[in-house]
A and B are shown apart, each in its own frame.
Chain A
Amino acid sequence: MKTVEAPERIEAPRGAPAPRSVVRYRVRRISYTTLMYVLLLALCSLILLPAGWMLTAALKPDVAPVFTPTPEWFPTEFWEWDNFRRVLTESMPFLRYMINTMTIVIANILGVILSCSIVGFAFARLRFRGSKVLFYILIVTMLIPWQALMVPQFLFFTEIGLYGTYLPLILPSFTGTAFFIFLIRQYMRTIPRDLDDAARVDGLNTWQIFWRIILPLSTPVLTVCAVFTFLSSWNNLLGPLIYLDSEEKFTVAIGLANLVTRADTPWNLTMAANLVSILPTVIVYFFVQKKLIGGIASVGLKG
């Protein structure tokens, strides 16, 4: 550390900043970085605060008040880990609900990927009469809110005898979703056309081009669609509420909603169940985040 003072005495080479400004620059840079980190940490804890409160609330014993005039971030009475066991086994058949939900989610993802990728491929890569008009009609259907379709759809599914089964919650995804078709089409349009030509010369037919060339190259956008579908059907409360009529078919979302009653809601147990229900989403995000961010960036989709 002897050299620290040296710059004062040695003549600075031409063009290099004077020693004093070097020091000033360093100080400024360090303080800037520090400030940024402090700000980010503050923001981060603000976002994590509700989740933290949820965890502490979930660990409170039944007798401790969950809602206090000033929120109790670190309550005096907690660490009641047994709450988790109780809510998962006693309050409701949580495992059953989990399996039910997973069934619906996986079927939905399959349906979306299959139907939307085929339609997206046709719009993106095939030349046929009226493709533009059809595509615009498809886009327009994005403007119809699901709530408007709710009643006719319910009547339809009841009429054909599917009320009380999972099919009304699964079948629609196999008929395509305008938004995902749009996303997939946009992505597939960016894949060079020469690949189709090369594949054609190699002897592939249109179906093989889709299956062997275009589909594997579309994994980023398919991941985006899969994750969005996962989230929406995992969180779907209204759909299962409308179509499911027996407890053994209920989903996690219904189970959570059922915990909340007009009076006497066991908030500690509700929070515990909520925490567990978040887990799959967090795990999925953890595994696909890299692909997801890449995919979202590549399809020009934000937020």
Chain B
Amino acid sequence: MAEITLRGVTKVFADRTEAVHSLDLDVPDGKLIVLVGPSGCGKTTVLRMIAGLEDLSGGTIAIGDRVMNEVPPGDRDIAMVFQNYALYPHMTVYQNMALSLKIRKLGKEEMRRRVDEAAEILHLQELLHKRPRELSGGQRQRVAMGRAIVRQPQAFLMDEPLSNLDAKLRVQMRAEILRIQREFQVTTVYVTHDQTEAMTLGDLVVVLRRGELQQVGSPDELYTRPVNLFVGGFIGSPAMNLAEARFTTEHGAAFVEFGGHRLVIPPETLAAKPGLAAFEGRSVIVGIRPEDMDDAALVSGHLPDARIPIVVDLKEGMGSDVYLHFTIDAPPVVTEDTRELASDIGEKALDELHEQASERRSTFVARVSPETTASVGRSCDLHVETRKLYFFDPATGRSIDGDLEAGSLHAASALAD
């Protein structure tokens, strides 16, 4: 077991694209850290550099006390699980799992023992004599895990290991990975595109964007205190609703106004976000998470001016929740961050963002309790949990919160201790 330390790690590819820019990162011993971000953010490159499959253009990578920059992958004492599993097609499951031990010239009996042990943990005993093509996707995934386990390495590196599985299996294997990681207490770096995976698996989550670190923190911290618009928009599903708003004060009370709606900002929120005062009379970006809204008829004892009247455009029943889609007469927030977030969802989402911007309207989603009587085409009142509003600086995209970044880095190092 060992910690992994990245200092000023930079990767510039032959075509001069900078995939990773001066990245500092500490992966605490025995913890599972998730690298997450949209496609092309450099997360896989970082992982491959830790594995030694990609050379560094600058900086150092250390595993334990040893700087690994020039050490070949096989000597780094790490194991990697690949997105498409990369099982050797001409070898049986047993041979696949045993190859690395064979190369290390381990005794036959020890090899057998270790493979059997891993096979038992992963329920692969019956499959040891089969070849990869005879296995289902889930079984292949388990073999890939087994290949990593038998090594008893200092660190696991996982490159989107679940992305080729169907949804149900993914949930199951996610739990499995977590169980194994907890059991062996192996330092793990896990790359994913899926923020649900990031939130459920990670002791620490690292959000990357265009090769730059955005925020490191516990899943809870990223959710409740995103450092900028990008992290705020990326973490959470459905995504945070964002609108350009005006921040005003009147008779000692603070308000935020957007699309003809006006919400009172409770004093405790103001106190928690001292940076907000500087924005008086100016525009800010307000963020409301879908789960921080509910059908006003179902909320008792709510704060004054915490309601917005809406007309439901679309109602999606999820069983446990109901998603209400509605339109706000305010243009959507179009910045580098939101454009990138939209284009990560797809070309269509980006077009929609621009279309809504030109029509000066935006779509919000509220996640309300299933008891709601709201129906499509009808108006209803939504209650907004104003104590959980998010504010961002429209010029920089940074969270208006006080000195948050330092805070979150501090938290990360606290966890490391």
The CA of A195 and the CA of B87, in the complex, are separated in Å by 7
A190–chain B nearest beta-carbon distance, Å: 12
Q: Which residue of the partner chain, among A199, A201, A213, A217, contacts B51 with CB atoms under 8 Å?
A: A201
Task: Tell me whether B99 is interfacial, beta carbon within 8 Å.
Answer: yes
Mask: chain A, 168-201; 1 = CB below 8 Å from B; 0 = not: 0000000000000000000000001011011111
Q: A194-B82, A208-B103 are in contact. Are A200 and B73 (CB under 8 A)?
A: yes
Task: Tell me whether B377 is interfacial, beta carbon within 8 Å.
Answer: no
B74/A198 in contact, CB under 8 A = no
Mask: chain A, 190-230; 1 = CB below 8 Å from B; 0 = not: 00101101111111110010001100110000000000000
Q: A203-B100, A203-B103 are in contact. Are A198 and B75 (CB under 8 A)?
A: no
- What is the size category of the interface that chain A forms with chain B? 10 to 19
Task: Tell me whether B36 is interfacial, beta carbon within 8 Å.
Answer: no
Task: Tell me whether B90 is interfacial, beta carbon within 8 Å.
Answer: yes
- What is the size category of the interface that chain B forms with chain A? 20 to 34
B90/A216 in contact, CB under 8 A = yes
B74/A200 in contact, CB under 8 A = yes
Q: Which residue of the partner chain, among B78, B83, B87, B89, contacts A201 with CB atoms under 8 Å?
A: B78
A199 partner residues in chain B, CB cutoff 8 A: 88, 99
Q: A192-B86, A203-B75, A217-B89 are in contact. Are A197 and B103 (CB under 8 A)?
A: no
Task: Tell me whether B119 is interfacial, beta carbon within 8 Å.
Answer: no
B74/A202 in contact, CB under 8 A = yes
A208 partner residues in chain B, CB cutoff 8 A: 103
B124 partner residues in chain A, CB cutoff 8 A: none
B74/A204 in contact, CB under 8 A = yes
B36–chain A nearest beta-carbon distance, Å: 21
A195 partner residues in chain B, CB cutoff 8 A: 86, 88
Q: Which of B75, B84, B90, B104 has the most CB of A within 10 A?
A: B90
The CA of A202 and the CA of B48, in the complex, are separated in Å by 14
Q: A201-B51, A202-B74 are in contact. Are A192 and B84 (CB under 8 A)?
A: yes
B79 partner residues in chain A, CB cutoff 8 A: 201
B51 partner residues in chain A, CB cutoff 8 A: 197, 201
Q: Which residue of the partner chain, among A198, A203, A216, contacts B86 with CB atoms under 8 Å?
A: A198
The CA of A205 and the CA of B84, in the complex, are separated in Å by 22
Q: Which of B48, B78, B99, B104 has the most CB of A within 10 A?
A: B99
Q: Which residue of the partner chain, among B78, B86, B87, B88, contacts A197 with CB atoms under 8 Å?
A: B86
A203/B74 in contact, CB under 8 A = yes
A127 to B, closest residue via Cβ: B14
A205 partner residues in chain B, CB cutoff 8 A: 72, 74
A198 partner residues in chain B, CB cutoff 8 A: 80, 82, 86-88, 147
A201/B75 in contact, CB under 8 A = no
B80–chain A nearest beta-carbon distance, Å: 5
A194/B86 in contact, CB under 8 A = yes
Within 8 A of A (CB), among B50-87: 51-53, 72-75, 78-80, 82-84, 86-87
B84/A201 in contact, CB under 8 A = no
B147 partner residues in chain A, CB cutoff 8 A: 198, 202
B352–chain A nearest beta-carbon distance, Å: 35
The CA of A200 and the CA of B100, in the complex, are separated in Å by 9
The CA of A216 and the CA of B90, in the complex, are separated in Å by 7
The CA of A80 and the CA of B82, in the complex, are separated in Å by 68
A217 partner residues in chain B, CB cutoff 8 A: 88-90
A202/B103 in contact, CB under 8 A = yes
Within 8 A of A (CB), among B261-313: none
B100 partner residues in chain A, CB cutoff 8 A: 201-203
B90 to A, closest residue via Cβ: A216
The CA of A94 and the CA of B5, in the complex, are separated in Å by 73
B87 partner residues in chain A, CB cutoff 8 A: 198
Mask: chain A, 152-175; 1 = CB below 8 Å from B; 0 = not: 000000000000000000000000
The CA of A198 and the CA of B143, in the complex, are separated in Å by 13
Q: Which of B52, B79, B89 has the most CB of A within 10 A?
A: B89
The CA of A202 and the CA of B100, in the complex, are separated in Å by 5
B151 to A, closest residue via Cβ: A202
B178–chain A nearest beta-carbon distance, Å: 22
The CA of A213 and the CA of B48, in the complex, are separated in Å by 21
The CA of A199 and the CA of B86, in the complex, are separated in Å by 9
B225–chain A nearest beta-carbon distance, Å: 36
B104 partner residues in chain A, CB cutoff 8 A: 203
The CA of A197 and the CA of B76, in the complex, are separated in Å by 14
Q: Residues on A close to B: CB < 8 A?
A: 192, 194-195, 197-205, 208, 212-213, 216-217
Top 8 closest pairs, chain A to chain B, by CB: A203-B74, A202-B100, A194-B86, A198-B86, A203-B103, A200-B73, A216-B90, A201-B80
A and B contact pairs by CB, cutoff 8 A, 8 listed: A197-B53, A197-B82, A198-B80, A201-B51, A201-B52, A202-B74, A203-B100, A204-B99
Known: A197-B53, A200-B74, A205-B72. 10 other contacts (CB 8 A): A192-B86, A194-B86, A198-B82, A198-B87, A200-B53, A201-B73, A202-B99, A202-B147, A203-B103, A204-B99
